[in-house]
């Protein structure tokens, strides 16, 4: 195989791995007692999985297929901080199972960062109980 063939094959191989990883992650999420109710409420799941694969293609390969704003889409979901820890845990498992190691670690770092940013945006306050809160303490 020539170097140019390898260069064109690698993105194709990685695209297939991204699609497999995304589907495996959502299968785990759907089966998970904590995340399952949130994941199962996603309308048009196959279309959503394509969007998520496009997001990771942009993140890992620099493609331009994803043009959205992930935070805005997730702002009204019924999630709590514990959902994010589980989300990162299942995503980490899937990334390490299905992506080449360098891209898996890159994706895990991005997912972890996104989780932290989403939580900061969704839970900007600390409640009277000391836990993250969507609302200021009374």
Q: Which token pair is 1?
A: 């195989």
CA 38 to CA 51: how far, in whole Å? 17
Residue 54 forms beta bridges with which residues? none
Residue 133 forms beta bridges with which residues? 125
48 CB burial (10 A radius; 0-12, 13-18, 19+): middle
90 CB burial (10 A radius; 0-12, 13-18, 19+): buried
Choice among 35-44, 95-104, 110-119, 125-134 with the minimum mean pLDDT: 125-134
60-99 per-position pLDDT tens digit: 999 999 998 999 888 889 999 999 999 999 999 999 999 9
pLDDT of residue 5: 33
> Does the reported pTM lie above 0.85?
yes
3-62 per-position pLDDT tens digit: 333 334 488 999 999 999 999 999 999 999 999 999 999 999 999 999 999 999 999 999
């Amino acid at each position: 195989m020539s170097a140019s063939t390898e260069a064109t094959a690698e993105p194709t191989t990685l695209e297939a791995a991204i699609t497999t990883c995304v589907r495996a992650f959502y299968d785990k999420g759907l089966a998970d007692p904590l995340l399952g109710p949130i994941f199962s409420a996603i309308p048009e799941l196959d279309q959503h999985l394509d969007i998520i694969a496009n997001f990771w293609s942009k993140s890992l390969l620099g493609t331009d297929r994803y043009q959205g704003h992930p935070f805005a889409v997730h702002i009204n979901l019924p999630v709590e901080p514990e959902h994010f820890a589980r989300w990162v845990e299942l995503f980490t498992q899937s990334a390490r199972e299905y992506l080449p190691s360098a891209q898996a670690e890159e994706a895990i770092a991005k997912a972890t960062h996104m989780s932290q940013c989403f939580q900061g945006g969704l839970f900007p306050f600390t409640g009277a109980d000391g836990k993250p809160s969507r609302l200021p303490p009374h």
